[in-house]
Amino acid sequence: MTSVTTMLDQRVSQEGVLVVHKEAGWTSHDVVAKVRALLKESKVGHAGTLDPSATGVLPILVGRATRIAEYLVDWDKEYRAQLRLGETTDTQDVTGRLLARSDPRGITEGDLQAVLTGFRGIQRQLPPMYSAV
């Protein structure tokens, strides 16, 4: 017979929020599937999708903690980006087929800052066709 302590330990260990650093190459679904398999828990989800090429914090919700997902997805987020200037691809990212190349030497740091400033605050945009959204 299973003791109450063992049952409690199993229940507590199966519920909560895991803060996972997602590496490039993994999809958000890959991380969820891995956690499901490791914990043998079917009720696992994430609070926000990261593109497969992105790295960063991916909150993983386990058990009853999945109920708080709607509150976590609206939290403020911070992004860091690496840019490859002067190239256009068919997927709008570095994984796509190169369609055009131009000389980026005329772009100044001030030009970049002006563009990046426009990305602060709430954004409404159409995700690229190849987005993980």
pLDDT for 30: 95
Mean residue pLDDT across the chain: 84
Q: Are 108 and 61 members of one domain?
A: no
Q: Judge whether 38 and 5 are in contact, CB under 8 Å.
A: no
Higher pLDDT, 118 or 30: 30
Catalytic residue among 51, 90, 103, 111: 51
Q: Are 62 and 19 members of one domain?
A: yes
Three-state secondary-structure class, residue 95: coil
Answer yes or no: is pLDDT of 4 > 70: no
Residue 65 resides in a domain? yes
Q: Are 36 and 65 members of one domain?
A: yes
What is this structure's pTM?
0.69
Phi first, then psi, for residue 119 (nearest 5°) are -95, 0
Catalytic-residue membership of 51: yes
| Residue 96 structural domain | 87-117
Q: Are 56 and 97 members of one domain?
A: no
Answer yes or no: is pLDDT of 3 > 60: no
Q: What is the pLDDT of residues 58-87, one digit of tens each?
A: 999 999 999 988 888 777 778 787 888 999
Give 51's pLDDT tier (boundaries 50, 70, 90). Answer: confident
Residue 49 resides in a domain? yes
Q: Judge whether 36 and 29 are in contact, CB under 8 Å.
A: no
Q: Judge whether 24 and 55 are in contact, CB under 8 Å.
A: yes
Residue 125 resides in a domain? no
